Every structure is written in structure tokens, then in C-alpha cells.
């Protein structure tokens, strides 16, 4: 029988890997066969998920995707809960638990239901293009959801799921978390405290054609700098009575940030500046108004920026340096630096995370796949696993490989889905069999 292009690829991949399967147990070989057999089934599932819009602000659409995932998880023995979040003006989160054998490690699986593509976007449909497909969220993160489901089905077929202790958190607002800030990730943080291992199924990173392992990701924090000065006629600027004005004080501070703060794994950006006789930023911190004249010393200036670090220690140290620069005021000026409480903490590259990547590379060798080198954290953005990184060892990037994420034309490599599902099924089975 002639196979379609994707089926032929999967069959070829299976044949290529077969000699290495001697390194796999009988149950693990069963997982590999199950993933390959069900490959087209999971492409069909991905298409259905993608064709249901779940832009973060489409609350009903996010919940519909959660319902679709629930229908896949409950037959696998998971107890599924929908945690509505009306307080944050977001849809909510899907939480699923599988009770396995007592005393065995507890695994936390992380993904997200929402996408950046709201119903108003013209980019709405799944389009198959041979061994790839494009569509809204096809990689970020619906491809990751399908990897989870494929891996769990393989575990069920091989008999390794029944004893596994697994908790799944699929957030509904990863792309745009709501307020108040203490609520959106509270359940996820609690789950991290219960877990022994966290596995995040956001997209697989690749470099030079090679799959990469991710053991770290940087933080994402927003900050607002406000400077104030004495107003008056411009002819009096720099005088003892009027001083330097708010905009020169802003320029002094930002110049010192640029020259004194840089260090490895740190970035900081200024995305919006307003200044003049009057200046105000709206509540979204993405728009504002300003007015002034060239002959008036500006009494106010506002800058909005972000900060990304690799560890909590680095974040605290850099923030202290920023505050110290503020205190060296220009004449007759003042400044206030405020950090937004809505923030993604860093996921530092710990020894525990490195050990997990080593276990994943053991799976790779048994599958006949190359080892995955650790990805430079400068090449990965912030994500939900960071909220549990202080409490549990983890890996990120276990989802599907894709490119063009967050833009029309987002495209997934369909062949990466079964490859990632095999890795995940075997890794989770091995971890779930370990004692706590």
C-alpha cells in the first residue's frame, strides 16, 4: 500500500531507529510502535484543536479547547477539573490528575490552551502542507498538547500509565496573564510544590538541524521609571533654581543603565518614553500622551521597559544597581523606579535540570537519536514552568518544533510530534517508576 508523505516519513523513521530498539524494554518498544501507528490520528486531533479559536481574550473559545482536551484525557483515567478565572477576566485553567502507585515520583506536565490569535485575526485555519502544517497556535502550544496526548496514549498501551502519578496544568492565559496578579498561577505554583519533576511542553528548539534540550529560561519583568524636575522657562535650565529638568534626568539614568548594567544573560529594554510639560501613560502601559514646548523645562518624564535575567540572584542584584543609579540625582530632579508585579520568574540552569536532560539523552541514545545539547537560555523566552522552577527540577521544550510563532503563517514540523511523543512517553515512564 502506498503511504502518504507523512506516513512514509514516519515509517522510514521507524525503520531507521529499529536497530537501536534493542536498548528499549518491551514496554518501551510498544510505546514507539503505538506512537507511529497513531501518528495520523494525532495530526487530525491537532487540526481540530487549531480550528477552534482560543485567543486569550476569547474566553469561550479557550474553554472549548479545554473541553476537547478533557475528552481525550478522561478515557486515559485522568480526573479533569476546569478552574474558571472570572476574577482575572480570563477563561481559566484545565487541571488533570492521574493517581498511580504510592511512593513513586509525581510528574507535573505543563502546557497552555490559549494563543495570541484572537477571533479578529485573519489567520484562523489549519492548512496541511506535506510534512508541515500552518495555523494559529499549531506549534505554540497546540502542537505541545498533542505531544502530551500521544505520549500518554502510548504509555497506556504499554501498561506504564496505570502506575504513574501525573498532574497536568494547561493554563488559559499564558500569552496574556490577567489580574489580580496573585491568582493566575496560584494553582500551578501549588502543583510545583507537590511535584518531583516538571516537564513543559512548549516548542522544541532546534539549531543547525539538531534538536536542543532546554534546562533554563530567563525571567520577564516590566518596569516603569518616572522622573520629575522643576518647570520654568527654558532660558533658566541648568540654573541653581531650575536644575536639569525631567527629561535630562531620564537621559542620565538610561545612559548609565546602558553603560553600567550589561552582564551575561541580562537584557533590558526601553519600549516607550513620554516627557514634557505633561505626560501620562494609560493602564495598559502601551499607550500614552505628552505635550510640551521647546521653551518650557519639562517637569515630568516616563519610561516603560523590561528586564530579563537568568536567576533570582541576578535579578535582585541588577535591580539594586538600577536603584543605586537613580539616587545620584541631577540638580533639582527626582526619580522613582517601579517594577510591575505581573512577572515571570527565571528558571535557572540547576544541577537537577542538567540531570534530567542527561536522563532524556539516555532515552535519545536508546532510540538511536543524537544527544540534545543544552540550549543557550538567551534563545528562549519566559514561560509557565518558571513559576515552579524554584521548587522542582524541570525541562522545557518537549513540545513540537515550529517556526514563525505568534505571527500569521506559524508552521509546525509534523514529524517532530511523534519524535517528541516517543521521547516523552519513555522519559515519563522511567521517571514515574522511580521512588520519591
- Residue 87, domain CATH: 3.40.630.10
> In the chain, helix, strand, coil percent, each to 5?
40, 25, 35
Residues 83 and 190 in one domain: yes
- Encode the chain (436 residues) as per-residue pLDDT tens digits: 333 344 443 444 444 444 445 589 999 999 999 999 999 999 999 999 999 999 999 999 999 999 999 999 999 999 999 999 999 999 999 999 999 999 999 999 999 999 999 999 999 999 999 999 999 999 999 999 999 999 999 999 999 999 999 999 999 999 998 877 779 999 999 999 999 999 999 999 999 999 999 999 999 999 999 999 999 999 999 999 999 999 999 999 999 999 999 999 999 999 999 999 999 999 877 899 999 999 999 999 999 999 999 999 999 999 999 999 999 999 999 999 999 876 899 999 999 999 999 999 999 999 999 999 999 999 998 899 999 999 999 999 999 999 999 999 999 999 999 999 999 999 999 999 999 9
Residues 212 and 235 in one domain: no
Instruction: State the pLDDT at residue 21.
Output: 54
Whether the CB-CB separation of 32 and 155 falls below 8 Å is answered with: no
Residues 334 and 376 in one domain: no
Cα separation, 250 vs 253, whole angstroms: 5
Considering only CA atoms, which of 305, 148, 301 is closest in space to residue 221? 305
Instruction: State the pLDDT at residue 179.
Output: 78
Handedness of CA 241, 246, 247, 251 (dihedral sign): positive
Cα separation, 181 vs 114, whole angstroms: 18
Instruction: State the pLDDT at residue 9.
Output: 39
Instruction: State the pLDDT at residue 18.
Output: 46
Which domain, by its residues, includes 270? 221-339
Residues 98 and 186 in one domain: yes
Specify the CATH number for the domain of residue 258: 3.30.70.360
Residues 204 and 233 in one domain: no
- 333-339 and 221-229 beta bridge pairing: antiparallel
Instruction: State the pLDDT at residue 420.
Output: 98
Count of domains forming the chain:
2
Residues 63 and 130 in one domain: yes
The conformation of residue 359, written as its DSSP 8-state character, comes to H
Considering only CA atoms, which of 383, 196, 219 is closest in space to residue 306? 219
Residues 26 and 131 in one domain: yes
Domain boundary among 296, 314, 339: 339
Reported as half-sphere exposure (CB side, CA atoms, 13 A), residue 279 has a value of 23
Instruction: Provide the Cα torsion 412, 218, 351, 152; round to 10°.
Output: -30
**C-alpha cell at position 269:** 529594554
The conformation of residue 368, written as its DSSP 8-state character, comes to T
Domain boundary among 339, 360, 376: 339
Residues 321 and 181 in one domain: no
pTM confidence score: 0.91
Residues 199 and 229 in one domain: no
Considering only CA atoms, which of 274, 273, 261, 252 is closest in space to residue 328? 252
The conformation of residue 191, written as its DSSP 8-state character, comes to H
Residues 16 and 75 in one domain: yes
Whether the CB-CB separation of 348 and 309 falls below 8 Å is answered with: no
Instruction: State the pLDDT at residue 283.
Output: 81
**C-alpha cell at position 148:** 502530551
Domain boundary among 339, 358, 391: 339
Residues 326 and 405 in one domain: no
Residues 105 and 143 in one domain: yes
Amino acid at each position: 500500500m502506498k503511504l502518504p508523505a507523512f506516513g512514509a516519513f514516519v515509517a522510514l523513521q521507524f525503520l531507521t531507529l529499529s536497530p537501536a530498539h534493542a536498548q528499549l524494554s518491551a514496554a518501551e518498544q510498544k510505546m514507539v510502535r503505538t506512537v507511529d501507528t497513531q501518528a495520523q490520528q494525532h495530526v487530525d486531533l491537532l487540526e481540530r484543536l487549531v480550528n477552534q479559536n482560543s485567543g486569550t481574550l476569547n474566553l469561550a473559545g479557550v474553554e472549548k479547547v479545554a473541553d476537547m482536551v478533557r475528552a481525550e484525557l478522561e478515557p486515559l483515567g485522568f480526573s479533569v477539573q476546569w478552574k474558571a478565572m472570572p476574577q482575572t477576566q480570563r477563561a481559566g485553567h484545565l487541571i488533570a490528575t492521574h493517581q498511580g502507585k504510592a511512593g513513586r515520583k509525581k510528574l507535573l506536565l505543563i502546557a497552555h490552551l490559549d494563543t495570541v490569535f484572537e477571533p479578529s485575526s485573519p489567520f484562523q485555519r489549519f492548512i496541511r502542507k506535506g510534512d508541515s502544517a500552518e495555523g494559529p497556535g499549531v506549534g505554540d502550544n497546540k502542537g505541545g498538547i498533542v505531544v502530551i496526548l500521544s505520549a500518554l496514549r502510548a504509555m497506556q498501551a504499554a501498561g506504564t500509565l496505570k502506575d504513574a502519578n501525573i498532574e497536568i496544568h494547561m493554563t488559559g492565559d499564558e500569552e496574556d496573564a490577567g489580574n489580580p496578579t496573585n491568582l493566575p498561577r496560584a494553582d500551578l505554583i501549588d502543583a510545583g510544590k507537590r511535584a518531583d519533576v516538571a516537564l513543559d511542553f512548549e516548542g522544541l528548539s532546534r539549531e543547525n538541524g539538531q534538536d536542543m534540550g532546554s534546562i533554563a529560561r530567563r525571567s520577564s519583568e516590566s518596569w516603569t521609571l518616572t522622573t520629575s524636575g522643576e518647570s520654568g522657562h527654558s532660558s533658566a535650565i541648568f540654573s541653581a533654581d531650575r536644575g536639569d529638568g525631567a527629561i535630562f534626568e531620564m537621559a542620565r539614568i538610561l545612559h548609565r543603565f546602558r553603560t553600567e548594567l550589561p552582564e551575561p544573560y541580562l537584557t533590558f529594554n526601553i519600549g516607550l518614553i513620554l516627557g514634557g510639560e505633561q505626560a501620562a501613560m494609560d493602564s495598559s502601559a502601551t499607550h500614552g500622551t505628552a505635550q510640551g514646548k521647546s521653551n518650557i523645562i519639562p517637569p515630568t518624564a516616563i519610561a516603560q521597559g523590561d528586564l530579563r535575567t537568568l536567576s533570582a540572584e541576578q535579578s535582585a542584584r541588577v535591580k539594586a544597581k538600577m536603584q543605586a543609579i537613580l539616587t545620584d540625582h541631577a540638580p533639582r530632579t527626582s526619580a522613582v523606579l517601579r517594577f510591575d508585579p505581573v512577572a515571570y520568574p527565571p528558571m535557572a540552569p540547576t544541577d537537577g535540570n542538567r540531570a534530567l536532560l542527561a536522563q532524556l539523552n539516555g532515552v535519545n541514545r536508546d532510540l538511536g537519536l543524537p544527544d540534545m545539547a543544552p540550549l543557550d537560555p538567551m534563545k528562549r523566552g519566559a514561560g509557565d514552568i518558571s513559576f515552579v522552577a524554584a521548587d522542582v527540577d524541570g525541562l522545557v521544550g518537549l513540545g513540537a518544533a515550529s517556526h514563525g510563532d505568534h505571527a500569521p503563517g506559524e508552521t509546525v514540523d509534523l514529524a517532530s510530534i511523534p519524535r517528541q511523543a516517543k521521547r516523552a512517553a519513555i522519559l515519563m515512564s522511567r521517571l514515574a517508576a522511580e521512588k520519591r
